[in-house]
């Protein structure tokens, strides 16, 4: 069993999640965190909304 780093749910399946706005997986050191599917989907929605807001400001 694996555990979601966000909600603590025990699950058989987790996804790796990038937290930082300026995340660069190839050159920037970062904390590895893993999410269950619902937490991963929530993070993706939040990221899409942030991009939409940032794009609208330009």
Indicate whether 50 pLDDT > 80. Answer: yes
Question: Cα 44–18–1 angle (5° rounding)?
Answer: 90
Separation between Cα atoms, residue 49 and residue 45, nearest integer Å: 6
Where residue 39 falls among pLDDT bands split at 50, 70, 90? very high
Residues 2-21 as b/e (b if ≥16 CB within 10 A, e otherwise) read eebbbeeeebeebeebeeee
Indicate whether 52 pLDDT > 80. Answer: yes
**Start-to-end CA span in the chain (Å):** 44
Where residue 5 falls among pLDDT bands split at 50, 70, 90? very high
**Per-residue pLDDT averaged across 15-30, rounded?**
65
Overall residue count recorded for the chain in this entry:
58
């Amino acid at each position: 069993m694996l555990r979601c780093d966000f909600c603590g749910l025990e699950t058989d399946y987790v996804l790796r999640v990038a937290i930082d706005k300026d995340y660069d997986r190839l050159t920037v050191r970062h904390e590895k965190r893993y999410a269950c599917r619902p937490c991963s989907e929530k993070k993706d929605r939040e990221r899409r909304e942030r991009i939409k807001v940032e794009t609208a400001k330009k």
